[in-house]
Structure 1
Amino acid sequence: MGSWPARAGVGFGRACVVVAVSMLVPAVWAAAVALGIWWGAGNPWSWVAPFVLVSTGTLALSRPICRIVRFLVARWTGTVIPAGYRQAGPVTRLSTGYWWNGFSYERTSRDALMDQKMRLRWSDPATWRDLRFTGIVPFTAGVIAAVPPAGAAGAVVGLFQPSLAMRVIGVLGAVMAVASAPYAWRALEPVAVRFLRASPAMTLADRVEELTAQRADTTVAQAAEIRRIERDLHDGAQARLVALGLSLATVEKVLKTNPDQAMALLREARAGAATSLTELRDLVKGINPPVLSERGLVDAVRALALDSPLETAVSADLRLRLDPPIESALYFGIAELLTNAVKHAHATQARISIAQDDTDIVIDVEDNGRGGAGVRADGGLAGLRRRIAVFDGTLEITSPEGGPTRARMMVPCASL
């Protein structure tokens, strides 16, 4: 906790920060009113300009102020308040040459992005939540946080006055500033939690949108997987089985007239059957590795590490078997991360850690590659993030230029 002077000093500084942030918009309002008074009642701009200044200033400052408040609350108290802003979708160019931004068609990508940004800003409920908070915080947390600075100002003014009454007021101001400093800034947290956190209805609506997108992604992934299996069967095992049938038909014809040729054809057919069986096993392994079904995620990852061209170390502390869909998603997620490390990062070593705490299954995959990995909207990492999100999981990527790259997948135990 620290000594009282240290707490008072830290609290006084935080109270001043809260006052400065919360009073930005009222300062704009006061400036607009002062401008109107300065112009005089006879000037038509004395009514129009303050209104425009108040509107544009409040709208422009609301989101930055709310972001600062979320940062301060998280930094000072550890309470994380999700922003909840709606994310912009991709802007796509169509075959007609027009650009589709999710709302309208535009002639250029610049127009499409500007229109999307404007529509998204005005249709986002978080925008109106920010405006409401910007109007409330000065008269709640802002007023309470202003007590220590006001007491300090009174102390400075009063103690330097010759009269006894003013000096008494100065002493009282100093006592008020010191006594309230450790606590005055704390009013920011409950006000921010109450007015910046998304309402249950908005959270439910966002969850419905997220689940809808996840369902669409799952449908697309399933269709792509079915097409891959069909293609592999058609180009591989099916073609070999057709050739095997033709070879056996030829054997039937030449068995009595040319036994040596028949034996050669039978040897080819046996080799073709073995090759077809190997291809089918590989195909089934790509769908769901047998070791994953039989022995679980940890042993499957260890087998994957042995087959990887990277020098891979695996450490695991997993005390339970996961549901098969979750095991499959995590296994193929690890496989994709290792593939990216070889293909894109040119890594030579990797480390995989599988752990379980009270709330989550945590998997870390780290490589010594060149780094610079990013999550693009149409990239493999974004697809992996969406697949993990089906189980309320998250994927975090840390990949500075020059490496190393670290990926963390987390799945809540409640999903198991």
Structure 2
Amino acid sequence: MRQLGTWAARVGVGFSRACAVAAVGMLIPAVWAAATALGVRWGPGNPWSWLAPVVLVVVGTLALSRPVCRTVRHLVARWTGTVVPAGYRQAPPVTRMATGYWWNGFGYERTRRDALMDQKWRIRWKDPANLRDLRFTAVLPLTAGLVACLPPAGAAAAVLGLGLDAWGTPGRLAGALGLLTAVAVSPYAWRPIEPVAVRFLRPSSAMALAERVEELIAQRADVTNVQAAEIRRIERDLHDGAQARLVGLGLSLATAEKLMETDPERAKALMKEARAGATASLTELRELVRGINPPVLSDRGLVDALRALALDSPLDVTVEADLPHRPDPPVESALYFAVAELLSNAVKHAGATRVRISLARRETGIRIEVEDDGHGGARVRDGGGLAGLRRRLAVFDGTLEIDSPAGGPTRATLEVPCASS
């Protein structure tokens, strides 16, 4: 009895899935059939009898191809656990270059609005995945869609044959055969959708390569912007800080030199001021160098640099580290400043009191988790600090994932593939 119930459940689940596959697979052929029927109804003498169906077929196919493919991916992932990558071209961030032009992943525009509009249309209509989706919509009805039609067709034959006495014995035989077919093939009729989707819907190697090239172009633009911003910051700090102090120091020494013979006391006072100015200038230069690359990071590595950062933080920060070897210096610097920015966000925006930083070595790289007890709600928004941080890590093929439900806690996970030095 238990086996009978299990078998009946399999038949029921299989029948519903087969109906879903048949509905999705035959949607676009239904549009074609409707267009043909429209042309036949208008008649051969009507000059629009051929144009309207053609337009309907083209527009309907283009409009429905991507939703059909997305639905198939969703069904395959839900029923079998097989994830078929979409491979659609993603819109890269619109970035302002050092030249003043805006880069949208395809070309340069003078304004951000023009860059966004151009990007929108290019992404949608010049995506190589469009041809793949159109091919799939032509293959699906002839393969998995056709097989999935067997259970609903058998059920329809059973209803017509067994429910109507007008057809007599042949009708009842056809109805019984249809019922038997529907029951027998229901557990299996939906299964061809998985191999068909894997074969025809996954991105080709050329598409994957094109996507990688676009990603590298966007990363190059980010690196260019970061370098330009860093140069401007260094110039500003030198001009407003150390340079101004050194100019004042030179003037004080020149004045002291002139007063050495006539007013020694005044000259001594000016020399004391000059010495204080030299000390302040040295301090500012050290701070500037520390902003470029902290000495503790170069001397003692990432773990000790983060511990020093934790000591300087106003929050209660704990650092847990399982990092037996140091990564390469560029990776160390990127991770250090990423954690520093996350700590700054916890202080400024999260209202946190405690932060836990954990570092661990993985087979392919380094994983860092930064968790605070703030109020949560952090999101990666275009143009925001977290989006910029994610792009800077992407230069190293790194990732940043944010888990921040309302009410907290917020957990940021950084992973960067790298080898130990």
TM-score by length of 2: 0.80
| CA distance, structure 1, for counterparts of residue 150 and residue 199 of structure 2 | 22
Q: Which is worse superposed, 31-40 or 243-252? A: 243-252
Q: Is the 8 A contact 2:400 2:414 kept in 1?
A: yes
The residue matched to 2:360 in structure 1 has which SS?
A: strand
| 1:384 aligned residue (366, 383, 389) | 389
Contact 1:398 1:405 in 2 (8 A): yes
| Contact 2:105/2:218 (8 A) holds in 1 | no
Structure 1 residue 395 and structure 2 residue 400: aligned?
yes
Query: What is the correspondence of 1:164-243 to structure 2 with a 5 Å cutoff?
Result: 176-243=181-248
Output aligned runs, 1:127-146, within 5 Å: 127-146=130-149
SS at match of 1:86: coil
The number of residue pairs the alignment matches comes to 410
Q: Deviations over 1:95-148 (max 9, x none)?
A: xxxx99888999x99998666544442222122221221121121221233334
Amino acid at match of 2:243: Q
Structure 2 vs 1, CA of residues 314 and 140 (structure 1 numbering), >3 Å: closer, same or farther? farther
Instruction: Return the letter of the residue paired with 1:292.
Output: L
Which runs of no fewer than 5 residues in structure 2 stay unpaired? 97-101
| Counterpart residue identity of residue 230, structure 2 | E
Q: Distance in 2 between matches of 1:279 and 1:308?
A: 20
Given the alignment, which residue of 37, 40, 51 partners 1:37? Answer: 40
Shifted more, 337-346 versus 139-148: the winner is 337-346
How many percent of aligned residue pairs carry the same amino acid? 72
Counterparts of 1:267-416 in structure 2 under 5 Å? 267-399=272-404, 404-413=409-418
In 2: Cα distance, 1:415 partner to 1:195 partner: 40
CA RMSD across the alignment: 3.9
Given that 2:151 and 2:186 are in contact with CA atoms closer than 8 Å, whether structure 1 keeps it comes out as yes
Cα contact 2:317–2:355 (8 A) shared by 1: yes
Question: What's the secondary structure of 1:186's corresponding residue?
Answer: coil
* Residue of structure 2 equivalent to 1:123: 126
Q: What is the SS of the residue equivalent to 2:49?
A: helix
2:95/2:221 contact within 8 Å kept: no
* Alignment partner of 1:59 is 2:67: no
Q: Do the aligned partners of 2:95 and 2:222 also contact (CA within 8 Å) in 1?
A: no
Q: 1:12 aligns with which of 11, 15, 29?
A: 15
Q: Measured at CA, do residues 8 and 299 of structure 1 come closer, stay the same or move farther in structure 2, by a change above 3 Å?
A: farther
- Secondary structure at the aligned position of 1:395 is classed as strand
Deviation at residue 60 of structure 1 after TM alignment: 0.9
CA contact (8 A) 1:391 1:415 kept: no
Q: Deviations over 1:298-322 (max 9, x none)?
A: 3322322332233334334434422
Deviations 1:10-61 (A, max 9, x none): 3333332222222211121122222333333333443222222211111111
CA–CA distance in structure 2, aligned partners of residues 42 and 211 of structure 1: 57
Cα deviation 1:172-203 (Å, max 9, x = unaligned): 65565455444433322222222222221222
If the length of structure 1 is used for normalisation, what is the TM-score? 0.81
Q: Is the 8 A contact 1:301 1:331 kept in 2?
A: yes
List alignment gaps of at least 5 residues for structure 1: 94-98
For residues 361 and 5 of structure 1, what CA distance do their matches in structure 2 show? Answer: 50
- Are the structure 2 counterparts of residues 335 and 177 from structure 1 closer, same or farther at C-alpha, using a change threshold of 3 Å? farther
Residue 124 of structure 1: SS of its match in structure 2?
coil
**Structure 2 CA distance for aligned equivalents of residues 207 and 266 of structure 1:** 61
| Alpha-carbon distance between aligned partners in 2 of 1:160 and 1:200, rounded to the nearest angstrom | 53
Using the alignment, how far apart are the partners of 1:386 and 1:92 within structure 2? 11
Higher mean alpha-carbon deviation, 58-67 vs 38-47, is at 38-47
In structure 1, what is the Cα distance between the partners aligned to 2:62 and 2:112?
Answer: 26
